[in-house]
Structure 1
Amino acid sequence: MDSHEPVVMTTEPRPGVLLITLNRPRVRNAVDQALAGALDSALTRLESDPSLSVGILTGAGGHFCSGMDLKAFPTEGVPLVADRGLGGLTRARVRKPLIAAVEGAAVAGGFELALACDLITASDTAFFALPEVARGLVAAEGGAVRLPGRLPYHVAMEMLLTAAPLPAPDAARYGLVNQLTGEGLAVDAALTLADRVQAHSREAVHITKRIVQDTRGLDDHTAYTVQDPLSAPVFTTGAAAEGAQAFTEKRPPAWSR
């Protein structure tokens, strides 16, 4: 990589979609403080730009991300951004849908970045791993918290306690990966998913994601108490009226953007 190239690249491959590419291919896109800050800036752009509705996170050079840059760790520490976690993502509340498009390695903090996304596409040669225990560390940016809820418990614990990798075809079989693709096609599959998301009301999509975030782990009664103030206003919006009218008239909805 040229020293003047950005460590995170952003493009808009189609209207409404921001493609965020981690760009340190020589180190499998390991996260140092510079990359963490640049990723945080890209996510801020996704959230603040009203023309954008979906983000896709991927890596350059045939790999997603190898996690924290261990060479930089002794001097830089863990590349956290304020209270938003690794790269400004793992502990953040991103309002808009985010898709991880995984090629090659999604390891340690790289896997935790993928776990912080809402959808995952992966090539059939990709793999996931949380090898922190082998480095005297802990998967503290979502690995230990999120993974047991995404995989069968004993599969997740084997990954966490033995550092065993999980090939993408197995991850897809367990439901961790939404779309399994041929090598080099994970971003294409993510763009297709982004189109499917964008076909619907942005407000309804955003509120649905927030409900999931805010009610996870709650009992039903408490969950409805949290959900109802968020969902009730949606039923009186122009989007709701348009959705009902489009259904009646047997045509695609014409959402206002």
Structure 2
Amino acid sequence: MTGTTSDVRVDTDARVMVISIDRPAQRNAMTKAAAERISEALVELDERSDLAVGILTGTGGSFCAGMDLKRFAAGELARVPGRGFGGLTQAPPKKPLIAAVEGWALGGGFELVLACDLVVAGHGARFGLPEAKRGLIAAGGGALRLPRRLPRAVALQALLTGEPISAATAHHHGLVNQLVEDGQALDAARDLARKIAGNAPLAVAAAKRIVVESEDWPSDELFRRQEPITEPVLASADAREGAKAFAERRTPLWTGR
């Protein structure tokens, strides 16, 4: 189902899916149509065995300026039932998703970033949750996820003042994985995605699942709860192939089994 709509472009290459919000004249403000297309693309990402990693980005030098306020005022909600704002915030994919950020990631746009697993950003990128300035609240995951990705005081300042966070500050606190020259975020995200895509798919999926699910596990049950996730990986054909390839000094041939 890859292809183009008026609001979103979806391309696949070398086991990587790139989802590009394509409304540059509106700084990629989110529409219902764009949210639905992103949701469809994420379902495709998870279902296709030939795809390993997704990248979410925006065209024209901006990531996403949040919801289209004109359309919101007219009654349109840029969300998908069960998946949330942008077709992502309530139900991220099982496979890794990288945000490639240039320019502004505001409001719901920042919430899209927070729903991704990894973030690559240009030096000029800015992240903000200005909802309080407009009588709104960051209900698409911003108030929930930001304190888990930044120190509490930093997250509260961003939420309560509505002032943006620079890419350098986000990188300093670990929200941004890689800080690159402006205009290079997508290329750097592709490089990162290829490194992930070269690894065993069962191992990658299990690692993400443990990180996501273990957030609310009791400390005395951590190892017991991870066993049903780790044991199939350790017993897999890919685990045997990885050891064999290492011994034979060759690139592994993963089968996902």
Aligned to 2:181: 182
Structure 1 CA distance for aligned equivalents of residues 162 and 92 of structure 2 = 28
Summarize deviations over 1:51-92 as a string: whole Å, max 9, x none.
Answer: 111100000111000011111112334322111111221010
Structure 2 CA distance for aligned equivalents of residues 210 and 247 of structure 1 = 26
Instruction: Work out whether residues 17 and 55 of structure 1, in 8 Å CA contact, stay in contact via their aligned partners in 2.
Output: yes
* 1:70-89 → structure 2 map (5 Å cutoff): 70-89=69-88
* 1:88-99 → structure 2 map (5 Å cutoff): 88-99=87-98
Aligned to 2:25: 26
- Read off the aligned partner of 1:51 and give its amino acid letter: D
Greater displacement, 225-234 / 100-109? 225-234
Structure 1 CA distance for aligned equivalents of residues 255 and 96 of structure 2 = 18
Structure 1 CA distance for aligned equivalents of residues 59 and 155 of structure 2 = 27
Aligned to 1:11: 11
TM-score by length of 1: 0.94
Instruction: Work out whether residues 214 and 226 of structure 1, in 8 Å CA contact, stay in contact via their aligned partners in 2.
Output: no
Summarize deviations over 1:9-29 as a string: whole Å, max 9, x none.
Answer: 0112x3101110001111111
Structure 1 CA distance for aligned equivalents of residues 198 and 73 of structure 2 = 46
- Read off the aligned partner of 2:107 and give its amino acid letter: A
Instruction: Work out whether residues 172 and 179 of structure 1, in 8 Å CA contact, stay in contact via their aligned partners in 2.
Output: yes
Structure 2 CA distance for aligned equivalents of residues 200 and 87 of structure 1 = 29
Instruction: Work out whether residues 102 and 185 of structure 2, in 8 Å CA contact, stay in contact via their aligned partners in 1.
Output: yes
1:216 matched to 2:220: no
* 1:1-257 → structure 2 map (5 Å cutoff): 6-12=6-12, 14-256=13-255
Give the 3 Å change call, closer, same or farther, for CA 224–77 of structure 1 in structure 2.
Answer: farther
Structure 2 CA distance for aligned equivalents of residues 32 and 42 of structure 1 = 15
Q: Structure 1 vs Structure 2: percent identity of aligned residues?
A: 47
Instruction: Work out whether residues 203 and 233 of structure 2, in 8 Å CA contact, stay in contact via their aligned partners in 1.
Output: yes
Gaps of 5+ in 2: none
* Number of matched pairs: 253
- Read off the aligned partner of 1:111 and give its amino acid letter: F
Instruction: Work out whether residues 32 and 76 of structure 1, in 8 Å CA contact, stay in contact via their aligned partners in 2.
Output: no
Instruction: Work out whether residues 53 and 96 of structure 2, in 8 Å CA contact, stay in contact via their aligned partners in 1.
Output: yes
Instruction: Work out whether residues 90 and 142 of structure 1, in 8 Å CA contact, stay in contact via their aligned partners in 2.
Output: yes
- Read off the aligned partner of 1:107 and give its amino acid letter: L
Structure 1 CA distance for aligned equivalents of residues 178 and 245 of structure 2 = 29
Structure 2 CA distance for aligned equivalents of residues 242 and 212 of structure 1 = 25
State the Cα distance separating 1:221 from its structure 2 match.
Answer: 2.4
Instruction: Work out whether residues 92 and 115 of structure 2, in 8 Å CA contact, stay in contact via their aligned partners in 1.
Output: no
3-state SS of 2:94 partner: coil
State the Cα distance separating 1:5 from its structure 2 match.
Answer: 5.5
Gaps of 5+ in 1: none
3-state SS of 1:56 partner: strand
Instruction: Work out whether residues 103 and 125 of structure 1, in 8 Å CA contact, stay in contact via their aligned partners in 2.
Output: yes
3-state SS of 2:77 partner: coil
- Read off the aligned partner of 2:217 and give its amino acid letter: L
Greater displacement, 153-162 / 84-93? 84-93
Instruction: Work out whether residues 7 and 23 of structure 1, in 8 Å CA contact, stay in contact via their aligned partners in 2.
Output: yes
RMSD: 1.5
TM-score by length of 2: 0.94
Structure 1 CA distance for aligned equivalents of residues 31 and 221 of structure 2 = 40
Greater displacement, 105-114 / 36-45? 36-45
Structure 1 CA distance for aligned equivalents of residues 37 and 199 of structure 2 = 30
